[in-house]
Amino acid sequence: MLLRAALAFFIATRPLAMAEDAVPSDPTAEEGEDVDAVVAPKPPIHPTTGSWRLAIPKSELDKNIDAAVEGVASEFNMFIRELVRSKLEGATKVCKTYRLDVQDTVVEFACDGNKPVQLRRDGTPLHTSNQDGEPIRGTVAVQGDTLIVHWAGESGGRTNTFERKGDTLHLTATVSSSHMPKPLVWAVRYAP
């Protein structure tokens, strides 16, 4: 009988309905205090975070890269230009897709569905090797809305600068070496 009375009292004093999306009250909040003010807000997602796919036709991309390669190759002696072109073209890998995830302590990215690479935001380099087996080190910097990934090895380096512009992701790639008269630079656009 006592249990039945307690149950009836509980039902009578309970609100009649709760919205499915209602936030349960915070037991540490003071009476009348806004619960949202107590719960720490999540950090905003970085604008470059997301899955991206190439947004320009291959013919336009090839034309842009060819012009950039020729701009650097033309600085070399005509007897070695073909060799230089071949080496420069090998440095112009363009990912058809990127998955970028800028987190508080790391940046994770994957090119063309490959296993993600994680770089620490504190500047600690990742030591690994490139597709030719040469040792390289990678670092990342997040400067405001810009993400900068830098790879360096004995023969030179490559910097990928990612910036969100409207609904597109712009990548500016720069390859440099002490053996080159000027850097090789090209740009690519990606869409979500």
Residue 30 in tokens? 């003071």
Q: What is the pLDDT of residue 7?
A: 30
CA 147 to chain centre: 6
Distance CA 165, CA 147 (A): 13
User: In the predicted model, is pLDDT for residue 35 greater than 70?
Assistant: no
Q: What is the pLDDT of residues 39-55, one digit of tens each?
A: 656 667 999 999 999 99
Which residue matches tokens 């090998």? Answer: 90
Radius of gyration of the chain (CA): 27
Identify which has the larger pLDDT, 53 or 26. Answer: 53
In the chain, what are the domains?
2-38 (no CATH), 50-191 (2.40.128.20)
Asked if residues 70 and 182 have their Cβ atoms less than 8 Å apart, the reply is no
Alpha-carbon separation of residue 15 from 4, 24, 35, 150, 157 (angstroms) = 19, 13, 18, 58, 65
Q: What is the pLDDT of residues 149-170, one digit of tens each?
A: 999 999 899 999 999 999 999 9
Q: What is the pLDDT of residue 37?
A: 52
pTM for the model stands at 0.75
